Structure 1
Amino acid sequence: MDLHLVQAFVDIVEAGNLAEAGRRRGVTRSQISRQLGQLEEQAGAMLLRRTTRRLEMTDAGQSLYEHGLRILQEVAAAQAEIDSLGKTLRGHVRVSVPTGLGDAFIAPLLLQFAEKHPGISLRVFFANRVTDLIAAEIDVALKVTSEPPLDTVARDVCPIHWQLCASPAYLAGIAPIREPADLAACRFLCPPYTSRRFLLTLGRDTCDGPEREDVDITPYLQSEHFPFLMNAVRQGHGISLLPLYMTWEDVRRGTLVPVLPDWKPKGLGNRLYIFTTANPHLSMATRALISFLRETVAELDVFKER
């Protein structure tokens, strides 16, 4: 069976129609249709049912797609292995990184990786809401969460610490914040929560053991784009709940001041993970990127608790 035709069939299934598959492969619709016909002739079975609206796989098509996909992945992995013997990794990796974290800290690392491995091409997406890696056509995704999805392979990178802080000007204009309950009267800036009000959870260690406080808060300003929230808190719009990696430099310079520093707030995720699909045949290029990010990200000062 011609592997070139098998690849065409896999592309048709993933594209959903002949026209789109042809566009992805750089051929006409008639050419991709002819390739499908040749493969069906070689297989001795109908692989796709053509309806007016879509293509549906037959049982034979489903079987060929699953086995063909694994075969093609093995061939790609073998080629990458051969390339690696010559000390040059080759391939293409599609990677998704969160905004804020990606802009400030991951992007420079990806450029280092690209310079180190010129044979690997990267396609980088900056997004916070990638959940289905297959549908989004993503090979590697970095995400902050406390509960990794069960349908992915999650590789732990490092802990994520959160911080409450505000500008000196904002704090000078309000009553002193001495205990968690005082936060309820403040303008609060934070990432989006599912409801308009939410319970902010804070904890600390005392001589008598761990202590916890919950504060019912109505956010004044919410955004999943952390650079926007950082500008807002710098300009004195309120007290922010942000990851330590976003605030540490401003706190060091004194442009932001920690609020209730003895208390540790609970944020929207306590660890950074690298996600991939449950695929045992990751390419050498993908594995190289994962290894590089796990080694370099965790060593950044911004991820170390202070």
Structure 2
Amino acid sequence: MDLNLIEAFVDIVDAGNLAEAGRRRGVTRSQVSRQLRELEQQAGAQLLRRTTRRLEMTEPGQALYQHGLRILQEVASAQAEIDSLGKTLRGHVRVSMPTGLGDAFVAPLLLQFAQRYPGITLRVFFANRVVDLIASEIDVALRVTSSPPLDHVAREICPIDWELCASPAYLERVAPPRVPADLTRCHFLCPPYGTRFVLALNREGQREEVELAPHLQSEHFRFLLQAVRAGHGIGLLPRYMSWDEVRQGHLVPVLTDWKPEGLGSSLYVITTPSRHPTMATRALIAFLKEEIGKLPVFNG
């Protein structure tokens, strides 16, 4: 079978219709339709069933699609291997990361990566929620979680510590908490969780849970950090967001004998299952694991 036709078929399935596949490939809808007919003639079977609303794969189409994905991955890997022999890595990687982590730390690292590997192009997404990497067309995702998806490949980069902190001005207005239960009389700022937040804290084998009514919630940690610094309450923040503010004295840790549990205990780099990831993807993963691990906030 013609490899170009197989690639066109994979694009058609991923796009969901001929017109969108044509736009992605830079050709007309009629050209894509002709390529599909040629491939069906070569395969000797109908690959797609046209309904009034969408295209559906037939059983032969499903088989060819799965094999086609593997074939194209092999070709991309082979090309990357060949390019690497010439000491120049080439390829394109789509990477996603949480906004706070990305803004504060990963964005500068990606610029270093782009300078080190000028043959690799990047498309960078800042998003806190990317559930389906395939549907979102993401090659590499950085995620803070305690339960990485089982149907993906998750490589742990480092643990993520969380801490409770407040501004000195807020702690002058409200008596600093001495025990976890004291948090109930404070304004509590945290990531989105719901109308009631059950905060778990640990100390030397002892565990306590406190049910709190959040005063302010946001998944944008920079905004949450600004609110804590402005004296709106006690915030639950990942340490990578608060550490520099604490270091400069703008924020004060609260209940330092207790370690709070946040919404995710480790930073992972997550990819879709593939026996042969491209050299560009592998280079980015190795770079992120090495460089993030060197950052003081994750290394001390």
TM-score range, shorter chain: over 0.9
CA deviation string 1:170-225 (max 9, x = no partner): 000012311111111000000011x31121111112xxxx2222111100000000
Which residue does 1:129 correspond to in 2? 129
Matched, 1:219 2:214: yes
Map 1:97-108 → 2, pairs under 5 A:
97-108=97-108
Q: Distance in 1 between matches of 2:22 and 2:176?
A: 65
Give how far 1:53 is off.
1.2
Which residue does 1:202 correspond to in 2? 201
Which residue does 1:8 correspond to in 2? 8
Q: Does the residue aligned with 1:40 lie in a helix, a strand or coil? A: helix
Map 1:49-68 → 2, pairs under 5 A:
49-68=49-68
Return the letter of the residue paired with 1:43. A
Q: Does the residue aligned with 1:147 lie in a helix, a strand or coil? A: coil
What TM-score results when the alignment is normalised by the length of structure 1?
0.96
Return the letter of the residue paired with 1:78. A
Which residue does 2:237 correspond to in 1? 242
Return the letter of the residue paired with 2:199. L
Give how far 1:34 is off.
0.7
Q: Distance in 2 between matches of 1:241 and 1:105?
A: 19
Distance change (3 Å), C-alpha of 1:204 and 1:304: farther
Q: Distance in 2 between matches of 1:57 and 1:296?
A: 43
Which residue does 1:119 correspond to in 2? 119
Which ranges of structure 2 fall in alignment gaps of 5 or more residues?
none
Give how far 1:54 is off.
1.0
Which residue does 1:72 correspond to in 2? 72
Give how far 1:304 is off.
3.4
Matched, 1:274 2:269: yes
Which residue does 2:299 correspond to in 1? 304
1:233 to 228, 248, 251: 228
Map 1:145-164 → 2, pairs under 5 A:
145-164=145-164
Range with bigger deviation, 96-105 or 65-74: 65-74
Which residue does 1:286 correspond to in 2? 281
Give how far 1:291 is off.
0.5
Q: Distance in 2 between matches of 1:249 and 1:157?
A: 21
Give how far 1:68 is off.
1.4
What TM-score results when the alignment is normalised by the length of structure 2?
0.98
Q: Distance in 1 between matches of 2:169 and 2:259?
A: 23
Which residue does 1:257 correspond to in 2? 252
CA deviation string 1:98-151 (max 9, x = no partner): 010011100000110010000000000000111111111100000000111111
Return the letter of the residue paired with 1:270. S
Give every structure 1 segment of 4 or more consecutive aligned residues whose post-TM-superposition deviation is greater than 4 Å: none
Q: Does the residue aligned with 1:20 lie in a helix, a strand or coil? A: helix
Give how far 1:59 is off.
1.5
Identical-residue share of aligned pairs (%): 73
Return the letter of the residue paired with 1:116. R
Which ranges of structure 1 fall in alignment gaps of 5 or more residues?
none
Q: Distance in 2 between matches of 1:42 and 1:252?
A: 67
Give how far 1:226 is off.
0.2
Give how far 1:2 is off.
0.9
Q: Distance in 2 between matches of 1:304 and 1:220?
A: 32
Give how far 1:12 is off.
0.4
Return the letter of the residue paired with 1:283. T
Q: Distance in 2 between matches of 1:51 and 1:174?
A: 65
Give how far 1:58 is off.
1.4
Return the letter of the residue paired with 1:159. P
Return the letter of the residue paired with 1:286. T
Contact 2:176 2:254 in 1 (8 A): no
Contact 2:80 2:278 in 1 (8 A): yes
Return the letter of the residue paired with 2:73. Q
Matched, 1:168 2:163: no
Contact 2:144 2:266 in 1 (8 A): yes
Q: Does the residue aligned with 1:133 lie in a helix, a strand or coil? A: coil
Give how far 1:60 is off.
1.4
Return the letter of the residue paired with 2:6. V
CA deviation string 1:249-301 (max 9, x = no partner): 11111110011111111100110000001111210000000000011111111
